[in-house]
Structure 1
Amino acid sequence: MAIPPPPGPQQPEGQYPPPGTPPHPPAPYPQYPSPQGPFQQPPQSPYAGPYQPWGQGYSPYNRPVPFNGLAIAALVLGILCFLPAVGLVLGIVALVQIKRRGERGKGMAVGGMVMSSIGVVLLALTVATGGARAFWEGFEDAAGGSGGSAFSLEVGECFDTPGGSLKGLAIDVDKVPCTGGHDAEVFADFEMPEGDYPGQDAAADEADRRCYLLRNTYAMDSWAVPGDVAVYSFTPTAQSWRTGDREVSCLFGNADEESGLTGSLRNDQLTLEPDQYSYLSSAAAIDDALDAIPDTEYIDDDLPGYKEWADDVSEALAREADGLPAHRFAPDAAKLVAALAKDLERSAKEWAKAADAPDADTFSEHYEKALKLIDPKKTVTTREALGLATTPPVYDDGGGTGSGGEGGPGIEV
């Protein structure tokens, strides 16, 4: 006869806990820090059942859900406004991955998408207004050059170019002491007038003209300038003009770029003695008058122009003939300077006769007499007494000094 089960809910066979077992399993112990290790589990209870209670293995120190990498990349590209279209696409892909993987970073993805969208709009406006074209032109200019950023040169500084050339486009240079070898020396600078960019050729022509006139203000003793020295220039580019750049730098460089220059060519009021400066100032005024010779090859082609030129030279010679003796030169040079002043006075009279000549033949007669009276060889002794260069420069067909070389092609910066 079967024994009826005790009162209460029926339990399947084999599911009764052993006699003396508590009616409910003990609550799991939380993990806790211990000196013996990062975390310790207390000893197992002797009453633990054959199954794991819920929550076993949970720890408040589990790793947090990771951030989505594409969301981070989208935010970075959006902040930098770099490749905005790429940042927008990365943000969209990041949102899809976050939803599927349960990762964090939704806010970063959305933020990156918003900023990248703004960047896309700005890029479209830039292209529509021509800004991108201006940027690309500047990039192409820089890519064809020899350096990095724009630069500024001061009068009296010497430098080397990265490629060793003074022609073409220059972005950067290496400043070096003038006492040693170098590619070029800055002897003057000036500002071009405001207005539209005149074009590369026009800017180079204006730079050559102005720089050639300014060369003697820096190298006053033209006799000390080697014959292989040429005049070059740095001029603004179309891009730098748009940013307000109007400066032109005038340079001395070697006509043979592979040779370069050695030592400074500077001899002006800052480096010359008073006697030297007074003498060279007078010589410079005469050279300026002589350099203004008409461009026509023959006197017959422009006799009125030649006569006007002769009159200007006569006045310059007369003025310097009076001015030279006014300066008190050192005794060993004073008499020599006085003799030169008399030659200048006689030459001025011949130039005046040439200015009144009725025809080209008469003009040539007085012109030749006038030039002989101011032959450079007659000044060698005086120059030696003053401590100046004593080798006469080469003169061109018109009588103007040829020292300093021809005007070289301009460089854009």
Structure 2
Amino acid sequence: MAIPPPPGPQQPEGQYPPPGTPPGAPGSSPGAHPPPYPHAPYPQGPYPQGPYQRGAYPQDPYQQGQSPYAGPYRTWGQGYSPYNRPAPFNGLAIAALVLGILCFLPGVGIVLGIVALVQIKKRGERGKGMAVGGIVMSSIGVLLLALMVAGGGGDIWSGVQEGAGTGGSAFSLHKGQCFNAPGDTLEGLAYDVDTVPCSGKHDAEVFAATTANGDSFPGDSAVSAEAGDKCYALMDTYAMDGWAVPDDVDVYYFTPTRQSWREGDREITCMFGNTDKQGTLTGSLRKDATNLDADQLAYLKAARILNRAMDSAPDKAYVEDDLPGHKKWATRVSRALAEQAGLLRGHTFAPAASGRVAAVAKNLDRSRKEWSKAADASDADTFYRHYEKAMKLIDADKTVTTRKALGLATTPPKYDQGGGGDNGGEGGAGIEV
């Protein structure tokens, strides 16, 4: 399983892909309007992400003939292509399986199987299934010989379970688990991982599992692109409060290889990891119905409605290039704002937060009216004018006190203007498993 994600920047929470900037911005040419996105990230939702674009944004937008307001996005998927080199089978694992099948020297088969499991874990070799199979079959032989010895069979089986459970397979990782990867890196090949408590230091935390589409293997790039799309879409179902996710955390994933695909593997495992190759995670990033209270959950669920409408912005960055597309987008955003405000008003918040939430809903109403006017705009200038007013009404600073009253994170995420992680790391790599 595995593959790195497709190269290209991914926009983090609240930074929406620009349709253009206000007329007269530095670097804009006469008669053209660069993207109008000088605003702070939308504060309430976790991961609004605009169109999924490939490639890296330039370090200096002026040198590329673009407006700085278009803003480079944070890179969410810059990995590399690993080499698909199958690991060798462990010789002791093969021997243990043979002895187990023949029921010859069952005690030796058990010992060889357990030693093989230890070697496989250290060396990254294949053959764990053969070692476990050899242990099981040899244990049956021992049990047949020790039926008269009370408890002997149970002790042997306990040893088998302990030996086989020394590490967690990447194929069996599930939502909410944390683990350390081979070599403490989330890049390259992996045949096994060590699951550890999320409360301590760890390399990654699994936040979702999904399935790749198709009957035949579509190629590494296609599987990686599909994994990136699906994992980024699932982030806010696990880490609903995006402000609580550290700036040096990115998305990684396990994906099937050509070889594992032939064996029926279709699983994509989505996880959070540190963009710094020397960094680790400490504590769980989970913020969902399992640990949020009713008020926090209602607030973040309402915010998600708008985030996903924002994500549906047209591919064309300039309004002049696709005015009809941007007007349809404005209509979707306007409707989302109405739905979000309705959800906030439909929930009874605690007295300490109810007044502040009501103020947020009022700003959503005012912003919705501006988006509606942008949707009816007859030209790009009119669209920009209403768009700017609409975005100011949902500025991040306007919800900090509300978030504080609800017990949510109050520091907006930082955004790297160079198109990469804040620490210069490359996020979004995958592991071959």
TM above 0.5, one fold?
yes
| Corresponding residue to 1:225 among 245, 253, 263 | 245
Aligned partner of 1:359 in structure 2 is 379
Alignment of 1:39-50 (within 5 A): none
The question of 1:326 aligning with 2:346 is answered yes
Q: TM-score, normalised by structure 2?
A: 0.59
Deviations 1:308-356 (A, max 9, x none): 2111111110111111011010001011111110111111111111111
Distance, in Å, in 2 between the alignment partners of 1:211 and 1:407 is: 13
| Corresponding residue to 2:298 among 278, 290, 294 | 278
Partner of 2:174, secondary structure, is: coil
Q: Would the alpha carbon gap of residues 270 and 361 (structure 1) be closer, same or farther in structure 2, given more than 3 Å must change?
A: same
Aligned partner of 2:217 in structure 1 is 197
Pairwise CA distance, 1:406:
8.4
Aligned partner of 1:246 in structure 2 is 266
| Corresponding residue to 1:208 among 210, 228, 238 | 228
Distance, in Å, in 1 between the alignment partners of 2:203 and 2:360 is: 38
Q: Contact (CA 8 Å) 1:146, 1:163: kept in 2 or not?
A: no
Q: Would the alpha carbon gap of residues 147 and 408 (structure 1) be closer, same or farther in structure 2, given more than 3 Å must change?
A: farther
Distance, in Å, in 2 between the alignment partners of 1:216 and 1:299 is: 29
Distance, in Å, in 1 between the alignment partners of 2:427 and 2:410 is: 24
Aligned partner of 2:132 in structure 1 is none
Aligned partner of 1:20 in structure 2 is none
The question of 1:412 aligning with 2:432 is answered yes
Q: Would the alpha carbon gap of residues 245 and 346 (structure 1) be closer, same or farther in structure 2, given more than 3 Å must change?
A: same
Which 10-residue stretch deviates more, 273-282 or 145-154? Answer: 145-154
Aligned partner of 1:72 in structure 2 is none
Distance, in Å, in 2 between the alignment partners of 1:223 and 1:311 is: 27
Paired amino acid for 2:411: T
Distance, in Å, in 2 between the alignment partners of 1:299 and 1:146 is: 53
Pairwise CA distance, 1:171:
1.3
Deviations 1:176-225 (A, max 9, x none): 11111111100111111231011111101110111111101100000101
Distance, in Å, in 1 between the alignment partners of 2:359 and 2:251 is: 34
Once the two structures are aligned, what percentage of the paired residues are identical? 58
Aligned partner of 1:186 in structure 2 is 206
The question of 1:268 aligning with 2:296 is answered no
Deviations 1:81-109 (A, max 9, x none): 9xxxxxxxxxxxxxxxxxxxxxxxxxxxx
Q: Contact (CA 8 Å) 1:146, 1:169: kept in 2 or not?
A: no
Distance, in Å, in 2 between the alignment partners of 1:274 and 1:412 is: 40
Distance, in Å, in 1 between the alignment partners of 2:313 and 2:323 is: 12
Pairwise CA distance, 1:395:
6.3
Aligned partner of 1:34 in structure 2 is none
Q: TM-score, normalised by structure 1?
A: 0.61
Q: Contact (CA 8 Å) 2:305, 2:339: kept in 1 or not?
A: no
The question of 1:289 aligning with 2:314 is answered no
Ranges in structure 1 where 5+ consecutive residues have no aligned partner? 1-76, 82-141
Distance, in Å, in 2 between the alignment partners of 1:190 and 1:147 is: 26
Pairwise CA distance, 1:147:
5.7
| Corresponding residue to 2:174 among 132, 136, 154 | 154
Partner of 1:266, secondary structure, is: coil
Aligned partner of 1:237 in structure 2 is 257
Distance, in Å, in 2 between the alignment partners of 1:299 and 1:174 is: 50
Ranges in structure 2 where 5+ consecutive residues have no aligned partner? 1-94, 100-119, 129-168
Distance, in Å, in 1 between the alignment partners of 2:217 and 2:375 is: 41
Q: Contact (CA 8 Å) 2:276, 2:426: kept in 1 or not?
A: no
| Larger of the two Rg values belongs to structure | 1
What is the aligned length? 269
Q: Would the alpha carbon gap of residues 407 and 319 (structure 1) be closer, same or farther in structure 2, given more than 3 Å must change?
A: farther
Q: Would the alpha carbon gap of residues 410 and 385 (structure 1) be closer, same or farther in structure 2, given more than 3 Å must change?
A: same
Q: Would the alpha carbon gap of residues 407 and 348 (structure 1) be closer, same or farther in structure 2, given more than 3 Å must change?
A: farther
